[in-house]
Structure 1
């Protein structure tokens, strides 16, 4: 079972990541934001590709859900922290982090 401290620690271990406020959330970004942590620390929103989102939701619907708006249709996904272990947390964050890296 992961929590906000786990998310922050794992995200900050990913190369180039910085943390900054983003409205009422904490945002983690490299070139672009790839994850935000809710103010209550219970959920995080991740920038996944639509096919990655579909897979995560299919495999772990208790942990992952599309955001219910246009951002969700683009792949932004809500992750319930208490429903994932640290390995799944790290895998999901690394997946989102890849999308935020500068294009080479």
Structure 2
């Protein structure tokens, strides 16, 4: 199980990441762009992926990783069930979301670190 503390620690380890409220959720942003949110009521995370990445992660297990069921899902927003997702898959998805949103010079640097 991925806890909010684990989520927060990993998200804030990325360069220039900030944590801010986003309606009833917690959001993680790089240069004001959201790459992930956490909903404490449902214990779900939402991450911003490309359509291809979303398809790839969703093949893992559609009961654990799936597109947001509306127009946001068609834009790459993907839900992660934090109670059941393996840590490695979560880390990969969050890292991919960061790279999707971060400026190229930041996401490239993080890959090499």
SS in 1 for 2:59: helix
Tell me the CA shift for residue 19 of structure 1: 0.2
Higher-Rg structure is 2
1:48·1:95 contact (CA, 8 Å) conserved in 2? yes
Equivalent-residue separation in structure 2 for 1:55 and 1:103 (angstroms): 22
Inter-partner Cα distance in structure 1 for 2:71 and 2:42: 23
Q: CA deviation at 1:92?
A: 0.7
Give the superposition deviation at 1:89.
1.6
Q: CA RMSD in A?
A: 1.4
4+ aligned runs moved over 4 Å, structure 1: none
Deviation readout 1:49-86 (Å, 9 max, x if unpaired): 01111111112222101101111011100000111232
Unaligned stretches of 5+ in structure 1? Answer: none
| Residues matched between the structures, number | 104
> Using CA pairs below 8 Å that are at least 6 residues apart, which structure has the higher relative contact order?
1
Deviation of the 1:40 alpha carbon: 2.2
List runs of 5+ in structure 2 lacking aligned partners: 106-113
Report the TM-score, using the length of structure 2 for normalisation.
0.84
